[in-house]
Amino acid sequence: MKRYRNGEIWDFEQQVSGENGGGQKLILGLDGGTTNTVCICMPIIPFTPNHHHSPPVYARAVAGCSNHNSVGETAARETLEQVMAEALSKSGSTRTAVRAVCLAVSGVNHPTDQQRILDWLRDIFPSDVEFFVENDSVAALASGTMGKLHGCVLIAGTGTIAYGYTEDGREARASGAGPILGDWGSGYGIAAKALTAVIRAYDGRGPQTLLTRTILHELQYSSPDELIGWTYADPSWARIATLVPVVVSCAEAGDQVANDILLHAVQELASSVKAVVHRLGLCGKDGNDSFPLVMVGGVLEANRRWDIGKEVISCIAKDFPGMLPIRPKVEPAVGAALLAWNYLIEQSQQDHSEADYN
């Protein structure tokens, strides 16, 4: 095993005695996003993953961005290695206890991305460790399906994407192309439409709306033309998306413009899911087959009286009555670990049946 060239990341292993009470084998599950990266350490002990019992978690570590498109490959790898070491250290274990690692990282889109990370992981861990490298949406799906890669996940936070998987390994996505390319159901999309509505009302190009007063109050401005400066001073998508709760409040207060913006977002989000379900045939030939739809992200989880997530579900249910909506009870890093767990279980069952046969 290598030592990280720029630091002493794995030095703690020399202080660990007896490997967490006698060789308990572990899985590392990692969810790496553009905002932060979470790694959890799960023991391989007998339990049945389901929605009533949380999977056991020994330790949890958090770090910053690990998307190589955002921070570059070197910084991304350093973050990933550090957060894994911290999770192991916190659980009183070393790399020799690790049985499997599942890394679900945003920015992993092509087999070449996967291969580069796999090669790098093999250099860090013992040779008998199993590795899984996936896009972070896979962890989100697995957090709702308890590790099973089947169904569709809809993520709607600052951005939005729909991802789907079939049991025979096919996958498809929709949206996730950013605001210029029309992700209008996202938090950014909702907020940008609200800002536009304020400018239109001010110009006399659109109806008056409660959004004007509420957004100006939120940002502590007195005139809509000041919004131009605010918007372009730092056009970060996440900063603009922070206005979503204001839009929801206005819709709840009966404002028609805000209500229409949310209804439009619901249509957009539902259409992403429908496109994925159709392409993969998740609904079966008659459209009635059962499949899980995992809902993740601030826009879907806000749990307000005007409930965007609930509306998206009822919009999709009209087309696909067999759809089973799931709001995950565990975080995506746990989903990543469960994905590896499922694989190990299946493999050991296969080994047993082969042993029975022989």
Q: Identify the DSSP state of 26.
A: E
Q: Are 244 and 218 in contact (CB under 8 A)?
A: no
Q: Decide: is 174 part of the binding site for its own copies (CB under 8 A).
A: yes
Q: Which of 18, 35, 13 is nearest to 84 (CA)?
A: 13
* C-alpha torsion sign, points 189, 190, 191, 192: positive
**Smallest gap, in angstroms, from Cβ of residue 251 to its own copies?**
19
| Interface region with its own copies, contact rule CB under 8 A, candidates 16-24, 140-148, 197-205, 296-304 | 197-205
Q: What is the DSSP string of 205-253?
A: SS---HHHHHHHHHHT-SSTTHHHHHHHHS--HHHHHTTHHHHHHHHHT
The residue among 77 and 193 lying less far from its own copies, judged by its C-beta, is 193
Q: Which of 110, 123, 104 is nearest to 40 (CA)?
A: 104
Q: Decide: is 275 part of the binding site for its own copies (CB under 8 A).
A: yes
**Smallest gap, in angstroms, from Cβ of residue 316 to its own copies?**
13
Residue 349 structure tokens: 């069952």
**Smallest gap, in angstroms, from Cβ of residue 121 to its own copies?**
25
| Interface region with its own copies, contact rule CB under 8 A, candidates 45-53, 193-201, 305-313, 335-343 | 193-201
Dist CA 19 CA 93 (whole Å): 5
The residue among 216 and 275 lying less far from its own copies, judged by its C-beta, is 275
The residue among 36 and 267 lying less far from its own copies, judged by its C-beta, is 267
| Strand 37-43, strand 26-32: pairing | antiparallel
Which residue in 42, 186, 272, 336 binds its own copies (CB under 8 A)? Answer: 272
Dist CA 260 CA 267 (whole Å): 11
The residue among 58 and 165 lying less far from its own copies, judged by its C-beta, is 165
Which residue in 20, 143, 175, 186 binds its own copies (CB under 8 A)? Answer: 175
Dist CA 191 CA 128 (whole Å): 48
Binding letters toward its own copies, positions 198-237, x by CB under 8 A: -xx--xxx---------------------xx--xx--x--
**Smallest gap, in angstroms, from Cβ of residue 195 to its own copies?**
6
Residues of this chain that bind its own copies (CB under 8 A): 173-175, 177-182, 192-193, 195-196, 199-200, 203-205, 227-228, 231-232, 235, 240, 271-272, 274-276, 278-279
